[in-house]
Amino acid sequence: MENRNRPSHVLNAIVIALFLISSIIISTPVSQADPNKVWSAQTYFHIRKQATTSPTGYAPDIIKGFYNLPDGGSGTIAIIDAYDCPTVQNDLDVFSTLYGLPLTGTGYFTKVKIGAPSADAGWALEISLDVQWAHAMAPSAKVLLVEANSASLNDLLAAVDYAKAQPDVVAISMSWGASEFLGETTYDSHFTSTNGVSFFASSGDSGAGVIWPSASPNVIAVGGTTLKRNTDLSISETGWSGSGGGVSAYESKPTYQSSISYSKRAVPDVSYDADPATGVSVYDSTPYSGQTGWFQVGGTSAGAPQWAAIQALGKTATNTNFYADAQESGYPSYFRDVTTGSNGKYSASTGYDLVTGLGSPVTTHFTPVVVPDFTISASPSTLTITAGGSGTSTITVTAVNGFLDSVSLSANWASFSPPSLTNGVSTMTITVLANTASGTYPITVVGTSGTTMHSTMVNVKVLAPLTVTLQTDKSSYIRGQTVTVRVNVRNNGVPVQSATVKVSITPPGSSTSTYSASTDASGNAVISYKLNSRAQRGTYKVTATASKTGYQAVTSNQITFTVS
C-alpha cells in the first residue's frame, strides 16, 4: 500500500512533531503557541496501488447496495478541502460518464476558491475522491467544492464558514484533520449552523488516536471499516486497522453520548468502508506521484463525503438522532453493528466502540422510533375559589404521533365533562368544601391511557367566606344626634379579627360618605356618624363591606335609618 502524503505534507507533520518535542523540553504548554502557526491539516486517503487505465475499486452500485442507499438527494453537499485541483470538473465528468451519473453541465457542481490556492497533487486526489463519491451517493443533490487557500486552521475554517452560509447547504464534508490541541474547543463554534447543516469529518487513518475537528462534539466523526465482497458475492464488514478512534483529551462529553461510559467526547460516531484494499474507484488527471488515471482509494477520507451524501438523501443524519436510535430496539434498522476488528488499541464490539462507533449505515433515515403518545395541559392553571364554591378550568388532551386511545382524567376535588377523551378538551369543575381553610392548594390533573400517564398542575387559591351583619343603635334620629353603626364580621360563625370594614352612609339626595374601621377580637367594628344641625330629613341608607387577606370580600345587606 502506498501512502498518499506528498513531501509537503510530510514536512508539515515534521514541523508539528518538532514543535511538540520542543514544547515538552522547555515545559511550555501547547496552548501558548498560536495553533494557526503550528496546526496544519492533512488528508486521510490511501491508495492501494499504482494508477490504472480502468477502475479497480468498488463501483457506486456496490457501495450503495451494501449500505442500502437509494438514488436521489436534495440540497447542497459542501466539500471543504485545501489548495486547488485544476482538473476536478473534467475528472468528475469522466467518473460520472463511466457510472451513468449526471454530468457537471447539468449545473449541479460549483467550485469556489477562498483566496488564491495553488495546485497541490495530494490534495487534488483528495478533492477528486470527495466530490466524485459525494455525487455518486446522492446524484440528485448539488455539490459545492470550497477550496481553502492553504491547510492552515484559519484558511480551512474560513472555507467552512463560507460553505455553511450558503443557501441550501445541508451537509459539510471535511476529509482532513490533525492532532488535538489545547484550546481547540474555542474553534468548535465554526461547526454550528442555524440552518440544520450537519458537519462530517474523518476520524484519521493511523489507528487508535483522536484528531480534530472530528473530536468536536459539533461534528460527526467517521471511522473506517474493511468491506469485503466474498467469492459467493456476499459482503462482510469488520473494523479497519487504520480507523482513528479514542477519547478526546479536551472536548467535554456531549449530551448525546450520555449512554456510553466514557468521561469525555468519544470518537468515531459512525463508520464506513475505508480499507484501501477494499477501496473505491477515483479518477484523477492531476499527476499524483507522476501518475494519472484510475486510483483505488481508501481511508476515512472516503467515508466523510459519503456520509454527507446520506444527509442529503434523508436529512436526518445527526449525532442526536444516531445515539437516540442506538437506544431503540430497532438499532439494526439504522446501523450495521460492526463487532470484529481492531485499530491497535481498541477492538470493535457489540454496540458503541472506539473503532467503528455505532456502526455503518443501513438506511438514510435516522430518527427515533415514533411512539404514539399524548400531552395534557390546563387553562387557566390558577383558580381562585371561595370555600363552599366552585371554579372551572379547560383541560386539553393532544394526541401525538397518531395516538388513538382514550385518556381518562382524574384529580382531587374535581369532576370532568367528558371524563375521558382521545384528543380535545374537557371542562374540569373543582368544588371546594365550605370548611376548607384559606390557602393555595396544588391539584394534580392526571391523564391515564393504559400504562401511559401524563399530568398537569392547577393551583387552587381558596378564599374563606365572610359574613357581615350591621345595625344602628336606633332606627330614627333627630338633627344633631350621633348615629352609632355596629358591624360584625365572621367566618363560619367564628369572629374574624383585624378585618377591614368600610361603612357607606348615603343621605337622601346627597353623595355617599365612607368610614373605615378594623374589627376587634370579637369581630366587631364601630362607626360613629354625627348628624349636624342642618342634616337632611328623610331615609338614610347604610351598607358595610368587609375584607381580609385570605378571605373573600363581602358586602352586607342594606339597612336604613330616618332623620326627622
pLDDT at 232: 78
Per-residue pLDDT of 71-87, as tens digits, reads: 999 999 999 999 999 99
Using an 8 Å Cβ cutoff, are 96 and 135 in contact? Answer: yes
pLDDT at 10: 40
- Please state the domain extents for the chain: 2-361, 373-464, 466-563
Q: Which residues of the chain have pLDDT under 70?
A: 1-33, 368-369
Using an 8 Å Cβ cutoff, are 356 and 338 in contact? Answer: yes
- Cell readout for 440 is 393555595
- Cell readout for 295 is 486510483
Cα distance between residue 544 and residue 556, in whole Å: 5
- Domain 2-361 and domain 466-563, same fold? Reply is no
- Which option is the CATH number for 2-361: 3.10.105.10, 3.10.310.10, 3.40.50.200, 3.40.140.10? 3.40.50.200
What separation in angstroms does the CA of 294 have from each of 48, 95, 286?
A: 11, 9, 11
DSSP assignment of 40-104 equals B-EE--EE-S--BSS--SB-HHHHHHHHTPPS---SEEEEEEESB-TTHHHHHHHHHHHHTPPPG
Residue 282: Cβ-neighbour burial (10 angstroms; 0-12, 13-18, 19+): buried
Residue in the structure block whose three cell numbers are 455505532: 358
pLDDT at 550: 87
| Class at the top of the CATH hierarchy for domain 466-563 | mainly beta
Per-residue pLDDT of 235-256, as tens digits, reads: 899 999 999 999 999 999 999 9
Using an 8 Å Cβ cutoff, are 400 and 458 in contact? Answer: no
Burial code (b: 16+ CB inside 10 Å, e: under 16) for 547-556 equals bbeebbebeb
Homologous superfamily (CATH) of 373-464 is Immunoglobulins (2.60.40.10)
Phi, psi of 89 (to 5 degrees): -70, -45
Provide the sign of the torsion angle of the four alpha carbons 168, 174, 180, 183, taken in this order: negative
Using an 8 Å Cβ cutoff, are 415 and 428 in contact? Answer: yes
Helix (H) or strand (E) holding 315: none
Neighbouring C-beta atoms of residue 476, cutoff 10 Å: 10
pLDDT at 368: 64
Neighbouring C-beta atoms of residue 525, cutoff 10 Å: 25
3-class state of residue 543 by DSSP? strand
Per-residue pLDDT of 368-414, as tens digits, reads: 667 799 999 999 999 999 989 999 999 999 999 889 999 999 999 99
